[in-house]
Amino acid sequence: MNAKNLLFAGILGLGVAIFTANGRMAATGADYALEGEPEIIAATFESAWCSACKILKPRLAQVIPDFADKPVKFVSLDFTFGQRGDIARQAEEEGLTGIYPRFKGATGFTLLVDRDTGEIIDSLTVSHSKEAMRAAIAQAIAIAGQSDAAH
């Protein structure tokens, strides 16, 4: 095997390893221990090539610990390697079946979704500060809690 083929094989192997690891990370997301089901799913539609994601994700990562004991589950739908079937399955498992087809492949935002109704309560983008993200998530939890009480 010449050096060019060896280099190609190494790059291909690295790509497969990243793809496999990426699928595992996207499937688990940030899942905090909750009593019962979460009221809100915070679904981040992202990819490695998305410039907005490079701002949104670190900012959101600083906010997530504030909701460790709240009824919200943070998940990542990562489209770095395209619109794969495992992402659609993950969306279905998270209760995002009605939303996923409308937004699949788009990146750079987080949708705050009422787990019971499947309705989008709000969205987070790069224009949100950390404080605005905290407020939007807290408000979404309150709204979802009100709809649960009404049922």
Annotated domain spans of the chain: 26-150
> What mean pLDDT, rounded, does the chain reach?
80
CATH 3.40.30.10 is held by the domain 26-150: yes
Give the Cα separation of 21 and 23 in Å (integer): 5
Q: What pLDDT digit, counting tens, does each position of 12-51 carry?
A: 444 433 333 443 333 333 443 445 678 999 999 999 999 9
Structure token digits, residue 147? 């709809």
What is the identity of the amino acid at 133? M
Whether the CB-CB separation of 141 and 115 falls below 8 Å is answered with no
Q: What is the dihedral angle through the alpha carbons of 49, 26, 68, 55, rounded to the nearest 10 degrees?
A: 0
Residue with tokens 């937004």: 103
Q: What is the pLDDT of residue 30?
A: 41
Global pTM reads 0.74
Q: What's the pLDDT score for residue 32?
A: 38
- Report pLDDT digits (tens) over 61-120: 999 999 999 999 999 999 998 878 889 999 999 989 889 999 998 999 999 999 999 999
Tokens of 61: 């990562």
